[in-house]
Amino acid sequence: MGSRKNGRIGSRKHARKIPKGVIHVQASFNNTIVTVTDVRGRVISWSSAGTCGFKGTRRGTPFAAQTAAANAILTVADQGMQRAEVMIKGPGLGRDAALRG
């Protein structure tokens, strides 16, 4: 096997180039979670209305969902993602706003 003294486990010197991905939007009445994965299902980036700074009932609003989607997609755009398939799940208010964002 070899020793693991040199460097961190799983560290990369360059970011992966991902041409196509899948955007999962889970919209509940209380929060909206946006996860960006590659085609195989490995998570690349994620964001939610709560991590964007919204608290309480404001997390369930369409504006919070749009902000969460923008934050999640911003990091993947730097890695070269050009196409994405969108999967939407849940009954929340942020469904359409996250899709637009």
Residue 3 lies in a domain: no
Residue 2 lies in a domain: no
For residue 20, give the H/E element and its range.
strand 20-27
Residue 71 lies in a domain: yes
Report the domain count for the chain. 1
What pLDDT sits at residue 48? 93
Residue 60 lies in a domain: yes
Residue 46: helix, strand or coil by DSSP?
Answer: strand
pTM (2 d.p.): 0.81
Q: Quick one: pLDDT band at residue 9, thresholds 50, 70, 90?
A: low
Q: Is 35 left (phi over 0), alpha (psi -120 to 50) or beta?
A: beta
Residue 11 lies in a domain: no
What pLDDT sits at residue 59? 92
What pLDDT sits at residue 64? 93
Q: Are strands 43-48 and 83-89 parallel, antiparallel or unpaired?
A: unpaired
- Which residue range is the domain that position 71 belongs to? 20-100
Cα(70)–Cα(75) distance, rounded to whole angstroms?
Answer: 9
pLDDT tens sequence across 34-92: 999 999 999 999 999 999 999 999 999 999 999 999 999 988 888 888 899 999 999 98
Contact between 88 and 65 (Cβ < 8 Å): no
Cα(78)–Cα(18) distance, rounded to whole angstroms?
Answer: 10
Residue 94 lies in a domain: yes
Contact between 72 and 23 (Cβ < 8 Å): yes
Domain at 62, CATH number: 3.30.420.80
Residue 89 lies in a domain: yes
Q: Does residue 100 carry a pLDDT above 90?
A: no
Q: Are strands 83-89 and 20-27 parallel, antiparallel or unpaired?
A: parallel
What pLDDT sits at residue 90? 93
Q: Which residue has the tokens 């980036």?
A: 45
Residue 1 lies in a domain: no
